[in-house]
Chains A and B, each alone.
Chain A
Amino acid sequence: MTLLGVALVCVAPLVWMVTTSMKPGDQTMQTSLSLKTLLPQPVEKTPEYAAENYSSVWTDDTVNFPLYLRNTLIVAVLGTAGMTLSSAVVAYGFARVQWRGRGIAFGVLLATMMIPFPVLMTTLYIIFAKIGWVGTFRPLWVPAWFGGAFSIFLLRQFFRGLPKDLDEAARIDGCSHWGIFWRVMLPLSKPALGVVAVLHFTYTWSDFIGPLIFLTHRDQFTLALGLQMFQSQAGNTPWNELMAASVMVIAPVLVLFFLAQRAFVQGVAMEGLKE
């Protein structure tokens, strides 16, 4: 019973967002709460109201959601590809290649996870401004091609869990490190690679401060920035449309989350079990 209550509190805001997004404007102005006012009235006209709200957000003149979706996808796809590939390569170097200084380097890697972005953001901006990257997508995806500490950590743990016999067998068959990595490790690591990819994709999709700092022109905005602009521009907020816009920003992430959920939650649980 308590459990049900907790789950309800967690989900209620999202449910209210969805029902608001399907109401006609005047119905969001009702001040008396009842089961009836929670839903659009009459209920059977819901699809019609919803279609109207969502399409008017999608075709808004000043806030170009289709363009923001395209921008977000460019940054997220380029970044995710780089993050997954590079982190896997580096993780292999930490998991399966013996070299002097490996332990120390890995310790440094773990320590860097504690450095928060705000500490770096001013100087990163200066650096990117000097090389002419401010106002382009590059600051948002190029760094991902150098791997990320948490992704590397996660993949290294996964690689270490794979039986060493596999490497030995491949080596006897004449495989180089690269051959072992590409033909043995990667195919076996799809769940872990999936977790890293989903994590970085959702991170980029949701990122607010990065685009806020590094993008200068509104034609380059991502969905997260666009949503904020949609809210701040509409002086007298049309709540139904704002909620419809929010649903559109949230939905892809949640779909991805449900698809990857099992691997995902395990990954989060693992985060706590490191050391």
Chain B
Amino acid sequence: MKKTLTGLAWVSPWLIGFTLFLALPVAMSLYYSFTDYTLLEKPVWIGLENYKRLLSDDVFWTVMKNTLIFAAVTIPAITVLSLGVAGLLNMRVRGVGAFRTAVYVPFMVPVVASAMIWLWIFNSELGLLNQGLRLIGIEGPNWLGDRAWAMPSVILMNLWIILGPPATIYVAAMQDVPKALHEAAELDGMGPIRRFVYITLPLVSPLILFNVITTAINAWQVFAVPFIMTKGGPDRATYFYTMYLYDSAFTYQQMGYASALAWVLFIVILAMTGLLFAVSKKAVFERN
């Protein structure tokens, strides 16, 4: 008993923080999601109205679609890219440490600053991208201002931002792969690509699952980059879930509706994570 009290005393900062800043907001938002609440007046119970409204809200379906497209492109792209880059970073080359740093650095850049840099790069007249394309005789589009190109542009720059952590994790994991396995396979006449597919990939697969889940969760939170670079436009082409949640709460002051959006987001993330775990049960290799 005394021991339990001692333990609880040690973790009490987290217990209090968990209650005040996590459990309480989650519970309160469930209540608010059944109300009409503008902050100025008391919340009014309206039952399932907010959720019904969601179903017939075109903007909701637009942000759902955009966020799903964003995730559906980003997840496979970042997995292939970071595995490939990690394979390169795992080579025995002089100065490989500097390359590892170079790949990680974009992730460290404050996201607002990244947005500024890429606004400049994507600038249709003077930007680095279109100037580079002009060198090879292509007239590039107005990346962020064109309905068709805005989404790919945002996805591309986001890949630049998030490449570092998964690549770093895979490098660490690849260094854990027993050398003897590779040597044995080499003796059996396996080339580097087949060794990568049959030895490295299965051994790092638990980390692939981890990174896929992280990327998937983060995709639902994309906010600062499109908020700053495109304001969700043109014509809502880059309007994502969290931006709509933000606007509902802080631009339109519809706290009840925003709470319903938050709960849908919560459930989507739980379901998605559960699904990824279930699907991966067979695909992920367990070492023991």
Interface residues on B, range: 35 or more
Taking a contact as CB atoms under 8 Å apart, the answer to whether A123 and B10 are in contact is no
Q: Is B54 an interface residue (CB 8 A)?
A: no
A2 and B88: CB pair below 8 A? Answer: yes
Q: Is A147 an interface residue (CB 8 A)?
A: yes
Contact (Cβ within 8 A) B221 A118:
yes
Is there an interface contact between A6 and B131, defined as CB atoms closer than 8 Å?
A: no
**A122 near B29 (CB under 8 angstroms)?**
yes
Is B102 within 8 A of A10, CB to CB?
Answer: yes
Q: Which residues of A contact B46 (CB under 8 A)?
A: none
Q: Assess the A10–B105 pair: CB atoms within 8 A.
A: yes
Q: Identify which of B11, B88, B128, B211 gathers the most chain A CB atoms within 10 Å of its CB.
A: B11
- Asked whether any CB of chain A lies closer than 8 Å to the CB of B85, the reply is yes
Q: Is A273 in the interface zone, CB < 8 Å from B?
A: yes
- B 149-190 to A, binary, CB cutoff 8 A, 1 in contact else 0: 000000000001001010011011100000000000000000
Q: Are A268 and B165 in contact (CB under 8 A)?
A: yes
CA distance A209 to B228 in the complex (A): 11
Q: Majority SS of interface residues in chain A?
A: helix
From A3, A115, A143, A225, contact of B17 by CB (8 A):
A143
A250 touches B4 (CB 8 A): no
A88 CB → nearest B CB, Å: 10
Q: Is residue B125 contacting chain A, with contact meaning CB distance below 8 A?
A: yes
CA distance A205 to B110 in the complex (A): 8
Q: Mark A116-160, 1 if CB is under 8 A from B, else 0.
A: 111111111111010000000000000101110100100000000
**A101's closest neighbor in chain B, by CB?**
B4
* Interface status of A49 (Cβ within 8 A of chain B): no
B233 to chain A, nearest CB (A): 14
Nearest residue (CB) in A for B98 is A7
Given contacts A202-B108, A206-B111, A257-B108, contact A272 B131 (CB under 8 A): no
Given A118-B221, A118-B242, the answer on whether A124 and B102 have CB atoms closer than 8 Å is no
A208 touches B13 (CB 8 A): no
Question: Contact check: which of B10, B109, B123, B224 meets A209 at CB < 8 Å?
Answer: B224
Q: A99-B7, A268-B168, A272-B173 are in contact. Are A206 and B85 (CB under 8 A)?
A: no
| Given A31-B131, A120-B25, A272-B172: A89 and B13 interface contact (C-beta under 8 Å) | yes
Q: Mark B1-31, 1 if CB is under 8 A from A, else 0.
A: 0011011111101111110111011101100
B221 touches A97 (CB 8 A): no
Report the 5 A-B pairs with minimum CB-CB distance, sorted nearest first. Answer: A146-B17, A99-B7, A93-B10, A269-B172, A206-B110
